[in-house]
Structure 1
Amino acid sequence: MSKLNYSKKYNSVFSYSTKGGVKYGYRLNYYDDLHKRHERQKRGFTNPQSAYRESLGVKVEIINNETNALNAESITVKQWSKRFMEANYTHWKISTLKDYQSRLRQYILPSLGDTSLKRLTKSKYQTLMLNPMIEQGLKRWTIRGAHKTLMTIINAAVDEGLLTKNPLSRTPIPDTGHIEKRIMSKAELQKFNYQLDQESLTTQLMLYTLEQTGMRQGELMGLQWQDIDLDNLKIHIKHTRDFNGLRTAKTPNSVRTVSISTSLAKIYHNAYHEQLELFFKHGLKVKPTTFVLTSKHRLLPLNNKYVSLKLRNTLDHAKLDYLIGHFTAHTFRHQYASYLLNSGVAVSEVSASLGHASPEVTLSIYTEKTPMKKDNLADKFNNLW
């Protein structure tokens, strides 16, 4: 180890020899609020003035009794995030907790987890976390969500005295672009449905339900067999389900009954008997509260990602891959409303089927059309072809 030569001109500054020439550093001793002795040093400066200048900043923090900020040098983003979560999770709703956990696990910790709080800079944040997220093609709201979570965690470090200010303040979040959504043309929908008939029974059930009822994706995932009335061609929508679990429908108006076609009812009938056989093989029974959509192997409820995956696969198999990204599971809802309104179905009927609070809400999204008598909207949708 190279010998340290302390400067007579700059207090606490030393020089040492390296293969690249003489380098400089500083070493400071200080005591925290518990009178525990600490040492802080840093090397690699190209001149004594730079080393001395930074050491003065550290001394100012000590004088201002901000010794906690010095400890941020050894505390990593991962360590502080863990302390932050342990201190706050009891005050949050389950959805908030899972948002924090997901963003930390997917984006923040893999990129910045090993970075010390003191060495966290805006440029490092942009290089290690933001730019890779942009390159992955993630949507702006996803990036903003991860940014908001990290900002909250770093602001808490400032409040705790670990940092004197948030180094990430006013970091610009770039616009990653907007993928234009559109519904299918009649020719595209016919081509899509032809392929859908070749897909698995579960895929048919999911995508035809979204297509023929305008149901929300979360409402589809929340369906239980007690909600399915095949005799009267009805589905009773009472819940929504996502990664946070099953809960009541989005709004009071979202609790509703929608009609289904005889062809879709047959798919539900076949799916029910298929599930009966699978459960029986595992020594289980299908109950009224059993979810309609369960996995074939573990018999667990399917998640929203499964719907998106099967939609992408079906579009690809139908040679409609150019619609991937432009047509999503939620686009079925807009397509359902658009086709019915264009065929002259009353706005009030479409609004009730979608679970909107009023026809005015529907009209704020779609164009008003000529009213017709009330009927089975699923059959009306199918009769358009």
Structure 2
Amino acid sequence: MRADSKEEHGAVAHNPMAIGLKLAPCLLVVELVSPTASTGQGGDLARRRYQKGQILFSKSRQLWLGRYREDTIRPDGSVIRARPQIVLGTKKELPTQRLAARKLDEILSRINDCAYQPTRIATVAEFAARWREEVLAKRKPSTVRSANSHLDSHILPQLGKLRLDQVGPENQQVFVNQLAGASRKTVLNILSTLSSMLATAKNWGFSSGEIALRKLVLPERNVHVPAHFTRSQVESILSLANEPWRTFFIVLALTGLRAGEALGLQWPDIDFHHKCIHVRRSAWYGKAQSTKSKASAAPVTLPDALANVLRQYHSIWTANPEGWLFATRNNRPPSSNNVVEYRLWPILDALDIPRCGLHAFRHSVASFIVDAGYSPEVAKQQLRHTDARTTLNYIHLRGGITERAMADVSNSLKLDAVGREQGKGSQYIQ
């Protein structure tokens, strides 16, 4: 080693196992070899059965880096020798080279294990093609549509050329930042698709990163209040609606069903005897699919008023082979988008109510339940939410209710129980 190398690049603690020192701009490279390493002819490093790797120190970044060799399997089945470089820690975290080497040994224990098998690698785009075919295609049509949109519009354009193992916290944050303008919920939905794909890759033996939401800075929660109807607005909507949509809107307003669940109802689902509605399926673009979750498949209460409406509706109902309560001329459930655009919006426009979707009925039901004096837990059960925090986002109390509530609270306190003179203290805060 040249005598001036220490002054130019900084010192590395002496290690009797070091067999060479390679210099690079701002980097010190020390290749470590175990005394018991088994080598092939000519000391070919690729033939070693046990490796210690290399320790590198970046003076500009004050970081210890580790470099090692690893066999990887490409998507086409070919095996290549990769040489990853990873961050071991900062100079503050690992003050000496020996501590950095110990950290690298921990990482290399997986590769040096007798049962080690070459790692499978692929780019995000390469694996996405397989994931669409083998996994996504087996999901519900609604899930397939949204996931494909996330992949084609965001994930593949931004991350497609990266290897799966390169999608770490830093690249994830860059990806989130590139979604500027999207709402927090949209960003979470896109990350959910990416997370599902990366989890599958890891389960299949690919070297893959994982989504770490706690390490990401996400968009702030919107102050936006979801659309909902007041009692008078619901009554006005029903007064202008024609059959079968009047009955359909009543079902939404008296059950809190999701639009797809209501459109997916068949007459055997209406249990007049036990006063409940069995939610067995959901309709999506004219096709039946499973409900959103297992909790969504729970039956909901059938109020007497709704039971009477459904009995009257059955007398004028146009029969179809599958027994759909609401069907098109093709004997299939209508698309919720068409119901909104051609049945709901004209009524909202006539009533000067801002346009919104059918989900506004579901928000209204939660509000009506709590407004009637019942706890949010009752609304949670009726809406079949798995998390009570979700239900709280659905509750929108009518104006004046908090004033009356606080009036009751103030009237319940005996403010004159203690005499004014007895309760009088210093006028100054101590």
- What's the counterpart of residue 210 of structure 1? 252
Deviates more, 1:248-257 or 1:100-109: 248-257
The structure-2 alpha-carbon separation of the partners of 1:108 and 1:215, relative to structure 1 and needing over 3 Å to count, comes to closer
2:260 matches 1:254: no
- What's the counterpart of residue 301 of structure 1? 333
Distance 1:338 1:236 in 2: 21
- 1:180 touches 1:326 (CA, 8 Å); kept in 2? no
Matched ranges for 1:319-330 at <5 A:
319-321=352-354, 324=356, 328-330=360-362
How far apart are residue 148 of structure 1 and its match?
2.8
Code of the aligned partner of 2:328: S
Matched ranges for 1:116-195 at <5 A:
116-118=161-163, 131-132=178-179, 135=181, 137=183, 140=185, 142-154=186-198, 157=201, 170-181=215-226, 183-194=228-239
How far apart are residue 354 of structure 1 and its match?
4.2
- 1:219 touches 1:249 (CA, 8 Å); kept in 2? no
What root-mean-square deviation, in Å, do the aligned CA atoms of Structure 1 and Structure 2 show?
5.4
SS class of match (2:281): strand
Code of the aligned partner of 1:237: I
- What's the counterpart of residue 240 of structure 1? 280
How far apart are residue 107 of structure 1 and its match?
0.8
Q: Which of 262, 267, 289 is equivalent to 1:225?
A: 267
Distance 2:203 2:266 in 1: 47
SS class of match (2:280): strand
Task: Pick the structure with more helix per residue.
Answer: 1
SS class of match (1:324): coil
TM-score of the superposed pair, with normalisation by structure 1: 0.51
SS class of match (1:143): helix
Q: Which of 130, 133, 140 is equivalent to 1:83?
A: 130
Identical pairs, percent? 14
How far apart are residue 116 of structure 1 and its match?
1.1
SS class of match (2:252): helix
Matched ranges for 1:1-385 at <5 A:
60=67, 63-66=69-72, 67=80, 76-84=123-131, 101-113=144-156, 115-118=160-163, 131-132=178-179, 135=181, 137=183, 140=185, 142-154=186-198, 157=201, 170-181=215-226, 183-194=228-239, 196-197=240-241, 200-215=242-257, 217=259, 219-227=261-269, 236-242=276-282, 243=284, 245-246=289-290, 250=295, 254=299, 256-259=301-304, 260=306, 265-270=311-316, 272-273=317-318, 276=319, 286-287=320-321, 289-296=322-329, 298-305=330-337, 310-312=343-345, 314-321=347-354, 324=356, 328-338=360-370, 341=372, 354=382
Distance 2:230 2:136 in 1: 47
SS class of match (1:65): strand
Code of the aligned partner of 2:280: T
Distance 1:233 1:326 in 2: 28
Code of the aligned partner of 2:189: G
Q: Which one has more relative contact order, counting CA pairs under 8 Å at least 6 apart?
A: 1
Code of the aligned partner of 1:329: F
TM-score of the superposed pair, with normalisation by structure 2: 0.47
Distance 1:216 1:159 in 2: 34
- 2:227 touches 2:363 (CA, 8 Å); kept in 1? yes
